[in-house]
Structure 1
Amino acid sequence: MAYIMVDIEADGPIPGDYSMIALGAVLVEDNLHQQFYSLLKPISDQYIPQALTVSDFSREDTLNFNNPEHVMKDFTAWIAKVSPDRPIFISDNHGFDWMFVCWYFTSQEVIRLG
């Protein structure tokens, strides 16, 4: 079992209507060397400018970020690499962060949870 700390940034309060624009994760271990980070292109035309100020990105910046489907496939591969058995995800705001990650896994049809 591996603990993975996840943090995301988004351009609004809920997935689908708004987009996850940054995804970071680290395997919780002594040296914290196993890390994942990527920026994601928006999946929605909606965004809240004030939400972007948290990450210091403009809307124009985000439009040049990575394809979300590719990012989620890369994240899936990273999880499999650092956690050959059951990963346990933790976060400072688990409801918010994991809501986006779970939605992206499901909506991008990368993996099926369960």
Structure 2
Amino acid sequence: MARPEIYVSTDVEADGPIPGPHSMLSFASAAFTAGKELVGTFSANLVTLPGAEGNPDTMAWWATQPEAWAACRADQEEPAAAMIRYREWLEGLPGKPVFVGYPAAYDFMFVYWYLIRFAGSSPFSHSALDIKTYAMALLGTDYRATAKRSMPRSWFDDAPHTHVALDDAIEQGALFCAMLAERFSEARERRA
């Protein structure tokens, strides 16, 4: 019997647009079953990469987010230790991990780069599921017109978007699971 998919909603906080010249400051994952059961979380704040620098525009944005900045700079650990722990956590989940992000292109780029660089492999392989793209498909809207403000309120829990990685990973994972539930409901109706 195939292992079930576990949807690993992941949020990254970084000091620039790409890994290498810039650093992933903090990341967190919230692992959900398709039925919206939260089966585990992981979070880490990381020491910046040697020789990397904060992007001026990104750092100007961080200056407007003092609480989130303080949260992502507390209890920092070396990337190698954190990414090995993270890979082991992913491998211990009760199913096959599927990376879920909003936007997946940004978050996955950092997580994948750090996993390969510091842990040697990625349990996600080379793929990620983008919440905005999934919403576009469900809603039948254009990609650029698809935004949280245009999504049904029923998809959202009361969780805030704080720019603290774990808060945002949980919020976005719950959103994705609500979207899955709608898709499954529509599929059942079509079969009936």
Q: TM-score if structure 2 supplies the norm length? A: 0.51
Residue 41 of structure 1: aligned partner: 47
Residue 56 of structure 1: aligned partner: 69
1:8 matched to 2:15: no
Residue 111 of structure 2: aligned partner: 101
Q: Which amino acid aligns with 2:79?
A: P
SS of 2:26's partner is strand
SS of 2:77's partner is coil
* Aligned residues with identical type, % of pairs: 24
The structure 2 residue matched to 1:75, chosen from 86, 89, 100, is 86
Deviations 1:4-31 (A, max 9, x none): 1111100001000000011100111334
Structure number with the higher helix fraction is 2
Sort the Cα spacing of 1:2 and 1:12 in 2 relative to 1 into closer, same or farther, 3 A. same
Is the contact made by 2:7 and 2:31 (CA closer than 8 Å) also made in structure 1? yes
1:27 matched to 2:31: yes
Unaligned regions of 5+ residues in structure 2, if any? 126-192
Moved over 6 A (4+): none
Point out which structure has higher relative CO (alpha carbons under 8 A, 6+ apart).
1
Unaligned regions of 5+ residues in structure 1, if any? none
Is the contact made by 2:115 and 2:121 (CA closer than 8 Å) also made in structure 1? yes
Is the contact made by 1:12 and 1:51 (CA closer than 8 Å) also made in structure 2? no
The structure with more radius of gyration: 2
SS of 1:34's partner is strand
Deviations 1:61-81 (A, max 9, x none): 47x611000000110111011
Deviations 1:69-101 (A, max 9, x none): 0000110111011145x3111111100000000
* RMSD of Structure 2 on Structure 1 (CA): 2.3
